[in-house]
Amino acid sequence: MAMALWPGWAAPLLNGIAFLLALGFRRNRAVLVLIVLIFSSLAIVGVLAPAADMRGTDAARMFAPWLLLAAAALPERGPLARRNLVLLLLLLIAIWLTFDAPDHVWSSLRGALPFGLLPWSAGALAAVLTFVAAGLCILRWVLNGAPMEAGLGIVLGLAAFALLPTMHGEASSTAFAFAGICALFAVLYASYRMAFMDALSGLPNRRALDETLAQLSGDYAIAMVDVDHFKLFNDTHGHAAGDRVLQTVAQQLRRERRGRAFRYGGEEFCLLFTGSRHREAAAMCEDTRARIEAARVRIRSTPAKGKRSQAGRADTSEVKVTASIGVAFRDAQTRFPSDVLKAADQALYRAKAKGRNRVIAR
């Protein structure tokens, strides 16, 4: 008996845990999606089917697809944003109708929802609408690269399978349970990236570097990389162009497969070389410096105030940037990560003092 009950209650339980995590990490669109999934899985189990078991299944297929599609289409906003509150109000109305609607009213609603004009079953229409919601999230992921969007796309895809007309009872509940598991992983992974990855460059951030250095043993080398004249470039071309430069430099650093790249802060990056590769750190940094110098960055330069271009728009051009690099090695004098970082920073200042666009090893 316990084995038969577990799959049914697994779905609302797992989606509830994912909901609490999403709420704690302020993933507000995920919160809306998971609230709908919690009540849908409860309806499938029968908790929201006071009159008959089928009313819960009908309710999930009638109301959930529209609510999920709205949640997927909404932009990320604060938890008390008006759009979010309207969606929650609609969910409450759906729950009230499921419990209290008279049979003749329920019969009319069942004939009209989710899209009574089409000659398809409610389950097929519900699945199609939910797949559309999943597609919206996947499209956002393709355009913006946000991992939470990919996670929501997978979660909604599983919810669509749960609403198919061929899915009944335990099968639907199992699909909702898998959606909850995927939601858990999506929220945790997106939160990990928020804590340890730099959003602009796509590289691990300073916190990730500190965590990595704290776990190192043996010999290693650290290279500090600084974009030359970056402040002047920002002032001349605008912050959007400056961001594009930082992204280009990050791409070149990522190409150095023998070392691991980090965004240190501002226009500074860091390369970490471990194991036997650390001995060739200076030579590898020279290769990286040459790649940065050879790269061309296509930017839209924002003209200074009062100096608009003839077309009245920002000028598009290609620019090149250079970088100065300071390299330091762990040895008997610099045994701690903070010492190696400080030595690499000193080597970087020497590279700048000698004319920039060069590699200096301590």
**223, β-bridge pairs:** 271, 327
Please check the confidence at residue 311 and state whether its pLDDT lies above 60: no
| Residue 225, C-beta contacts closer than 8 angstroms, at least 6 positions apart | 249, 253, 268, 269, 270, 271, 285, 288, 323, 324, 325, 348
Mean pLDDT of 10-23: 92
Q: What are the two backbone dihedrals, phi and then psi, of residue 89, each rounded to the nearest 5 degrees? A: -65, -40
CA atoms within 13 A on the CB side of 95: 16
CA dist 42 and 297 (Å) reads: 53
Please check the confidence at residue 221 and state whether its pLDDT lies above 80: yes
CA dist 361 and 125 (Å) reads: 65
Please check the confidence at residue 225 and state whether its pLDDT lies above 90: yes
The pLDDT value recorded for residue 289 is 93
CA atoms within 13 A on the CB side of 361: 12
The mean predicted confidence, pLDDT, of the chain is 86
The pLDDT value recorded for residue 204 is 93
Please check the confidence at residue 320 and state whether its pLDDT lies above 80: yes
Mean pLDDT of 122-126: 91
In three-state secondary structure terms, 51 is coil
Cα 98 → chain centroid: 35
- Residue positions counted in the chain: 362
Domains delineated in the chain? 2-196 (no CATH), 206-305+313-361 (3.30.70.270)
Condensed to tens digits (0 to 9), the pLDDT of residues 245-303 reads: 999 999 999 988 888 999 998 899 999 999 887 888 999 999 999 999 998 888 775 55
Please check the confidence at residue 52 and state whether its pLDDT lies above 70: no
Mean pLDDT of 41-58: 70
| pTM across the whole model | 0.76
Nearest-5° Cα angle at 43, 81 to 125: 80
CA dist 120 and 114 (Å) reads: 10
User: Which of the four pLDDT bands, split at 50, 70 and 90, describes residue 4?
Assistant: very low
Amino acid at site 105: V
Lowest mean pLDDT among 43-47, 145-149, 159-163, 174-178: 43-47
Residue whose C-alpha is closest to residue 224's, from 349, 57, 55: 349
The pLDDT value recorded for residue 115 is 84
Cα maximum dimension of the chain? 86
CA dist 195 and 198 (Å) reads: 8
Question: Which tokens belong to 12?
Answer: 């609302």
Please check the confidence at residue 340 and state whether its pLDDT lies above 90: yes
CA dist 52 and 189 (Å) reads: 40
Please check the confidence at residue 79 and state whether its pLDDT lies above 90: no
User: Which of the four pLDDT bands, split at 50, 70 and 90, describes residue 137?
Assistant: very high
Please check the confidence at residue 32 and state whether its pLDDT lies above 90: yes
**221, β-bridge pairs:** 273, 329
CA dist 133 and 135 (Å) reads: 5
Condensed to tens digits (0 to 9), the pLDDT of residues 230-260 reads: 888 888 888 888 889 999 999 999 988 888 9
